Structure 1
Amino acid sequence: MEYLGTLCLILISTALAGHFFRRFNLPAVVGQLLCGIILGPAVLGWVKGDEFIEIFANIGVIILMFMAGLESDLALLKKYLKPATSVAVMGVLMPIILVYLFGLIFNFNNEEAIFLGVTFAATSVSISVEVLKELHFLDSKEGTTILGAAVIDDILAVLILSVLVSIFSDVAASGGGHTSSNIGLSLILQVIYFVGIYLLFKWIAPWLIKFASRLTIPASVILMSVFICLGMAWLAEEVGLSGVVGSFFAGVAVAQTSAKREVDENIEPIGYAVFIPVFFVSIGLNMTFDGFLSDLVFIIPLTILALLTKWIGCGFGAKILGMDLKSADIIGAGMVSRGEMALIIAQIGYNAHLLSEKYYSGVIVVIILTTVIAPFMLKSAIRRKRKADLMA
C-alpha cells in the first residue's frame, strides 16, 4: 500500500505549492512541477516514476485536455474567425519554422527538430485570461481575439502532434523505413475517426447526454461525459493518434450540449483533486540537473526565441488584418504563455522518443520561463496601449 502514501505526499505538496505560487501571482502549475523535481530523483528521491504514477498521469492529461475542449468557445470563434485564424496560424508557423532550425543547430535529428518546433507552437492562455480579467480587458477586441486564436491554436497543435506521433511511430515500427501500407492504413483509420468526431458533435454527444439525464443514478450526466472523454481517447489511441486528440474533441463536443455548465463545474474537481497534480509531478520526476550549467547555452537562446516567435508571429497575424501596433503588441503578448499545452506535448514527445532525455529538462525549463514571463509582457503591453490612448 506504499502507493497510498506516495499519493498523499503528492496531493498535499502540490496543493500547498499551488497556493503559495498563486499568492505571489505566479502560475500554480509551476509550483506543482517544482514538487515533482524536489520529490523526484533530481533532489530528494522520495517519489519514483513507476507504473502507478504513469497511469494516474495519463488519466490526468486526458482530463486536462477534456477540460481544455470544454472551455473552447466555438460561438466566440465564429464571431472573430478571421482575426483569430490569422493570429493563430502565424503564431504556429513562426515557432515551428524557427525553433525547428534552432534544433538543427543543436544537432537534433529531423524528427526531433520538428517536434521541438511543435512544442513551442502551443499556447496556453489560462494565465493570460487572468491578467485580462484583472485589468478589465477581457471583453476588448484584443481580448476576444486572443480567446478565439487560442481555440484555433489548440486545435492546430493537437492535430499536428497527433500526425507527428502517428507518422513517426509507423516509421519506428517498420524499422526506420516508411512502409506505405502501414501509413496508408493509419491515415484511412484516422480519416474515419475524424468523421466520427463530426458525428459526435452533431448527434452522438447530444443523444448520450440526453439519455444520461434520464437515468436515476447520481451524477449520471457527469459519468456519461467521462465515458465520452475516455472512450474517445481510447479510440484515438487505437487508430494511431494521440489520446489527447480524442479527449480534447470530446470536450468540445460536450461543450455544445445543454450539459456544458454542469459538466464544467463537476469535472474540474475530479481532475484537480487527484489526477492532474500527479501529471504535473510526473513531468518533474523526469528532470535532472546533470550538466545544467552547460545546458544554459541551449536554454537561454531557446527562451528568447520562444518568446519572440509567439509575440511577433501572433502580433504580425493581427497587424496584417488592420489592427494597430499597440493592439498587435497586446495580442502577441497574450499568446506567449506555453503553460499546460506545451507541457503536455513535451511529455507525449518524451514518451514517444521524439524528445531526447539530454534536452528534456532544458525544454521544460524554457516552458516554465515563458509561462512565468508571459503575464508581465501582457500587463506591460496593456499599460502601453492605455498610456497611448490617454495621450491621443
Structure 2
Amino acid sequence: MIVLQLAIILIASKVAGSIAVRLGQPSVLGKLLIGIIVGPSVLGLIEETHTLEQFSQIGVILLMFLAGLETDVDEFKRTGKASLFVGLGGIIVPFVFGYAAGLIMHLTSIESAFLGLLLSATSVSISVQALKEMNALKTPEGATILGAAVIDDVVVIIALAFLMSFTGEDVQLSIVIGKKVLFFAGALLFAWKGVPYFLKRFSSLKVSETVVSSALVLCFLYAYLAEYTGVANIIGAYIAGVAISVTSFKTEVFEKVETISYAIFVPVFFTSIGVTAEFKGLSEHLVLIVSLSLIAIATKLIGSGVGARLAGFNTSSSLAIGSAMISRGEVALIIASIGTASHMLSESMFSAIIVVVLVTTVVTPPLMKLFFKEKAVA
C-alpha cells in the first residue's frame, strides 16, 4: 500500500539523512543508501511501483524547480563560457574512453559509440541537493554546474539521435534538433513575457494559494513540454524556476514549494533511487561494473575539471565542479532504456549500467563534500 510505503520512506530518509550529516557527509548520501537498505535488495520493505515512480518523478522536477528559483541570473550569465567548457569537457573525455572501452569489449563501432554517449550523460539533481546543503548553489561554481548540465543534456541527446540514424531507426535528425530549438526559443520567450503576466493574472483569483498553484502549473507545463520535445523534464522545470526567480513572486513561491517538496516528494525521489537497485546475478559482471564505474567517475571528474580550469577556475574549484558532474542519474537511465529498445545495449549490459549509474550517484555527494571543503580551505 502506497501510504505505508510513504510512511516508511519518510521516516527512513529523515533518520538516515541526519546520521549522514552527523558523520560529516551530505544528508542526500544517507537518503540514497537507506533506499538500498529498505528496498528489495536488502530488507524488502519497499518495492518499486508505478505510483512510487510517479512520486519520485515529481520530486526531482520540484528539486530542479527550486534550483531555478535560487539561481542568480546575473551570475548565470557571467558563467556562460565556463558552463560551455565544462559541459563539452564532460562530454568529450567520457565519450572517448567509453568508446574505447566498448571496442575492448568487442562491441561494434555503433554500440561502442552508444556506450560513450551513455557515459557522457549528466544528471545534476543529486548535485543540486549537495550544493544547497553546502550553501554553494549561488556561487560561480554552482551556476557553472547548472549551466553545464543544460548544455550536456542537449548535446548528448542530439548526438544520440544522430547515432540512431545509422542504426536503421526511424530518426530524422532535423526534426529532433528543430523540436529542441523550438522548445528553448518558446520557453525563453514565454519566460520573458508570459510568466510574469500569467502569475499576476492567475494569482488574482479569489481562492487560496493561487500564487504557489500558478507557479506549479508553470513548473509542470515546462517539464512536460521539455520531455515532449526530447529535452529532460528537469531542464524544463529548472527554466521555469529561473523565469519565476526574476519576478516579485519569487520568495513566496520558493518558501511554499520548498515546504511541499521536502516534506514528501524530494525524500521519495532520493530514496527511490536506492529502491530501484537490483544486485541479483551481477557477480558475473563484477569486473565490468567496477571498470565502467571507474571510467565513469574519472572521466567526468577530469573532463569537466579540465574544462573549468580552461575557463579560469583554480584547481580546487575545478575539481569541485568536476565532482558535481559525475552523477549520471535518471538521464543515463533514460538513454540506457533507449539503447536496449534499439538493440544497441544488451540486457546483461543494461543491468550492469544500472549499477554503474547508482555508483556514480552515490559517490557524487561525498566527493563534492571533499572537493568543496578543499576549495574553501584554499
TM-score between the two structures when normalised by the length of structure 2: 0.82
Residue 360 (structure 1) aligned to one of 348, 354, 359: 354
With over 3 angstroms needed to count, the CA separation of the structure-2 counterparts of 1:250 and 1:166, relative to structure 1, is: farther
User: For 1:242-264, what per-residue CA distance to the aligned partner results, in whole angstroms no more than 9, with x for missing partners?
Assistant: 32332222222222322222222
Aligned-pair identity (%): 30
> Are 1:203 and 2:200 counterparts?
no
| 2:270 alignment partner AA | F
**Are 2:169 and 1:178 aligned?**
yes
CA contact (8 A) 1:38 1:44 kept: yes
- Corresponding residue for residue 101 of structure 1: 100
Match of 2:56? 57
Q: Is the 8 A contact 1:342 1:367 kept in 2?
A: yes
Measured in 1, the distance between the counterparts of 2:4 and 2:312 equals 57
Question: 2: CA distance between counterparts of 1:289 and 1:372?
Answer: 22
Does the 8 Å contact 2:122/2:332 carry over to 1?
no
Residue 167 and residue 122 in structure 1: after superposition, are their counterparts in 2 closer, same or farther (change >3 A)?
Answer: farther
**d(CA) in 1 for partners of 2:316 and 2:291?**
21
Aligned pair partner of 2:331 in 341, 345, 349 = 345
Counterpart secondary structure, 1:335:
helix
Q: Distance in 2 between matches of 1:285 and 1:370?
A: 18
1:279 equivalenced with 2:269 (yes/no):
yes
**Shift in alpha-carbon separation, 1:221–1:183, aligned structure 2, 3 A:** same
> Do 1:67 and 1:264's aligned partners in 2 also have CA atoms closer than 8 Å?
yes
Deviation readout 1:147-193 (Å, 9 max, x if unpaired): 2311321211332455467678x879xxx62335x554444443332
Other-structure match for 1:330: 317
The 1:249/1:111 distance shift into structure 2, 3 A limit, reads farther
Aligned-pair RMSD on alpha carbons? Answer: 3.3
| Alpha carbons of structure 1 residues 357 and 148: separation in structure 2 relative to 1, 3 Å | same
| Match for residue 234 of structure 1 among 202, 224, 230 | 224
Report the TM-score when normalising by structure 1: 0.80
Structure 2: unaligned runs, 5 residues or longer? none
The CA distance in 2 between the partners of 1:92 and 1:286, in whole Å, is 26
Letter in 1 for 2:332: A
Write the distance in 2 (CA, Å) between the matches of 1:165 and 1:44. 38
Partners of 1:232 and 1:322 in 2: CA distance: 33
Q: Corresponding residue for 1:37? A: 36
In 2, Cα distance between equivalents of 1:154 and 1:88 = 6
**Alpha carbons of structure 1 residues 219 and 189: separation in structure 2 relative to 1, 3 Å:** same
Superposed CA deviations along residues 262-296 of structure 1, whole A, max 9, x for unmatched, are 22222122122112222222222221233555555
Q: How many residues align?
A: 366
8 A contact 1:36–1:281 mirrored in 2: yes
- Equivalence map 1:55-204=2 (5 Å): 55-106=54-105, 109-110=111-112, 112-120=114-122, 124=127, 126-127=129-130, 130-131=133-134, 144-160=139-155, 162-163=157-158, 177-179=168-170, 183-204=173-194
Partner of 2:210: 220
SS of alignment partner, residue 48 of structure 1 = coil
